[in-house]
Amino acid sequence: MTAPVFREFLEQNPDVEIVMVSRKNFESLFADIPNVIFKGVNLDDYKGFFGLRRLANELNWEFNPDFIANLHDVIRTKILDKIYSRKGLKVFKINKGKEEKEELTDVWNLNKVQLKKTVERYADVFRAMGFKVELSHKLRPISGVKSGIGLAPFAQHKGKMLPLEKSYELARILAQKHTIYFFGGGKKETETLEKWEREIPNTKSLSGKLNLSEELHKISELELMISMDSANMHLASLMGTRCISIWGATHPYAGFLGFGQSEKDVVQVKDLTCRPCSVFGDKECYRGDWACLEELNVQKIVEAVNL
């Protein structure tokens, strides 16, 4: 979700350069953004406090930064913050709004409200440094011929994932009029999607066949992506592709709707007062029936496609 923010921030502040430090496999997400230097690191090489101190020293020596932006705020980056502060560098970190999110996901709280969007929280870090940045919250479609619908039926946690039999039925209905491309990863997901490809005409599984750069390119060519509240929604945003997103235990109110995506393309069971019960979908259903996903009608998604 940081990449669209970087793009618009740097367009408005063209004399600034960002060094993005992250895992090596995320480099493709930032490849076409001017003034972004991507520094891929293997975190296994920098374990513990002394490993992180070595990483901080290496980054400081290589890039000599003016400011440090902590856009993650986890234990590892908190340690880096302290190291950089002791070196006299100014450190700015994201406010994740943890207390607001705890209140939002309290199942007994009936007054659910929209929290600040996560992309605005990222922008706030740069604003705190004294820079101006106004986010457009608009998709930027990549020009070219668009064809087919992408379907990413998996998510990291059960609370985010439509039951597979529903996603199968969705694919079967949509494939009558559209070419459907399945997105996934890992052995089990690939096996499932290849089985679907064999059983449903006019579908093709891309699971396990593309690297991240190739996957992004394919998403840019789609008319539409259908995704759970998962990484594929954000990849669609990055490539300017409209995404119909499916939400269960989680909710756009927590601020994680894809950059530029329309709330009209959010599909969810609206009349469950327990939603959202989780920010990331990683909690067990307190009701025990996963109604937020089990009661979601596939026809609602079909209707959203045809809007």
Quick count: other Cβ atoms within 10 Å of Cβ 114?
13
| CATH class of the domain defined by 1-129 | alpha beta
Q: What is the pLDDT of residue 143?
A: 85
pLDDT of residue 162: 97
Distance CA 51, CA 49 (A): 5
The DSSP bridge pattern shows strands 203-205 and 224-228 to be unpaired
What would the pLDDT profile of 207-224 be if each residue is shown by its tens digit? Answer: 999 999 999 999 999 999
Query: Can you say whether residue 47 is alpha, beta or left, with left for phi > 0 and alpha for psi between -120 and 50 degrees?
Result: beta
Question: Using DSSP, how many helices (H) and how many strands (E) does the chain show?
Answer: 11, 10
Beta-carbon contacts of 204 under 8 Å, excluding residues fewer than 6 positions away, are 179, 180, 181, 182, 197
How many Cβ atoms sit within 10 Å of the Cβ of residue 260? 21
pTM score of the predicted model:
0.94
Residue 306, pLDDT score = 86
- Measured in whole angstroms, the distance separating CA 114 from the mean position of its chain's CA atoms is 18
For the chain, domain boundaries:
1-129, 149-305
Angle at 189 between CA 253 and CA 31, to 5 degrees: 65
State the pLDDT at residue 90: 97
C-alpha–C-alpha distance, residues 70 and 56, integer Å: 13
d(CA 233, CA 152): 9
User: Per residue in 168-195, pLDDT tens?
Assistant: 999 999 999 999 999 999 999 999 999 9
Three-state DSSP state, 5: helix
Same fold, 1-129 and 149-305: yes
Q: Which CATH number describes the domain made up of 149-305? A: 3.40.50.2000
Distance CA 248, CA 51 (A): 39
- Which positions of the chain have pLDDT values less than 70? none
How far apart CA 302 and CA 68 sit, in angstroms, is 45
Among 65, 68, 72, which residue's Cα sits nearest to residue 43? 72
